[in-house]
Amino acid sequence: MTKSGRRPLMAGNWKMNLNWREAHLLVQQLAARLNEQQLTDVEVVVLPPFVDLRSVQAAVEEGKLKIGYGSQDISQHAKGAYTGEIAGSMLTALGCTYAVMGHSERRQYHSESDEIVNAKVQAALASGLTPIMCVGEGLDIREAGNHVEYTVAQLDGGLKGLTAEQVEKVVVAYEPVWAIGTGKTATPEDAQEVIGALRKRLAELYPGGTADKVRILYGGSVKGSNAAGIMAKPDIDGALVGGAALDAEDFSKIVCFSEN
């Protein structure tokens, strides 16, 4: 454990990549590169497409792997006539422990508002899943200097109505949109500025130690070569990794950031 007892979390968001066979193989390749100690020091999670979850579950169970998995989205509804949606209870039945909501790609292409993100956080918690709630500003907002207030407002909206006990279970991921898939990583200082402000806001909203328990990740062009610098910052508890998570070697280097 580091940073006030918060265990580092490295989560690989595979986005819309890999079929079920490729997913099975990647989990095995990743596990082969990590030893018991590394998987104890750092929590490792993969977030495959829905249709790969069953084969990821099989790989994890067959190998008794200490790798968690979850979904990239979740329905805000529990069940019923919502064509194309996936409910939290379906995810827990597959052994998922995490669900992402509010990723910038879903905010942008699927009109996911803070209200919807909030409903999805509540749906995940109601199903016993740990929400990974994403926030982050676009380039225009960053250039106007409004990135802190913008992301803090997303945090407020996404957590609306939650108790302190519920918020302690939430993982927040700060992903500046301009750094996603562009190779432009925010500097560790840029990431710390916003993540520190998010933690400060949590302390204001939930006095009494909640803010110290919530894990806040950085995402956006994280690689084996830059993970250690990002993780050196006091409020950054892990990474939400896109492209590099599709490569077992690079993702395992991120997991082992403390050895670099």
- Measured CA to CA, the distance from residue 124 to residue 218 in angstroms comes to 21
| Residue 13 DSSP symbol | E
Query: Which of 134, 142, 140, 71 lies closest to 104 in space, CA to CA?
Result: 134
Q: Site residues for ligand 13P, window 9-28 (CB under 6 A)?
A: 13
Minimum distance between the CB of residue 18 and ligand 13P, rounded to whole angstroms?
Answer: 14
Minimum distance between the CB of residue 85 and ligand 13P, rounded to whole angstroms?
Answer: 20
Tokens of 170: 């939430």
103 is catalytic: yes
- Single out the catalytic residue among 105, 112, 137, 175: 175
Residue 48 in contact with ligand 13P, rule: CB under 6 A: no
Among 9, 222, 230, 254, binds ligand 13P (CB under 6 A): 222
How many other β-carbons are positioned within 10 Å of the β-carbon of residue 204? 11
Residue nearest to ligand 13P (CB): 242
249 is catalytic: no
Among 52, 114, 175, 237, binds ligand 13P (CB under 6 A): 175
Ordered DSSP codes for 23-80: HHHHHHHHHHT--HHHHHHSEEEEE--GGGHHHHHHHHHHHT---EEEES---SSSSS
Contact 20, 55 (CB under 8 A): yes
Q: Site residues for ligand 13P, window 68-127 (CB under 6 A)?
A: 103
- Single out the catalytic residue among 24, 103, 105, 112: 103
Among 133, 241, 248, 254, binds ligand 13P (CB under 6 A): 241
Own/partner contacts of 181-185, CB < 8 Å, gap of 24 or more, are 181/221, 181/242, 181/243, 182/220, 182/221, 183/221, 184/220, 184/221, 185/220, 185/221, 185/222, 185/223, 185/226, 185/230
Question: By C-beta, is 22 or 212 nearer to ligand 13P?
Answer: 22
Among 53, 159, 230, 240, binds ligand 13P (CB under 6 A): 240
Minimum distance between the CB of residue 17 and ligand 13P, rounded to whole angstroms?
Answer: 10
Question: By C-beta, is 197 or 241 nearer to ligand 13P?
Answer: 241
Active site residues: 103, 175
Residues forming the site for ligand 13P (CB under 6 A): 13, 103, 175, 180-181, 219-222, 240-244
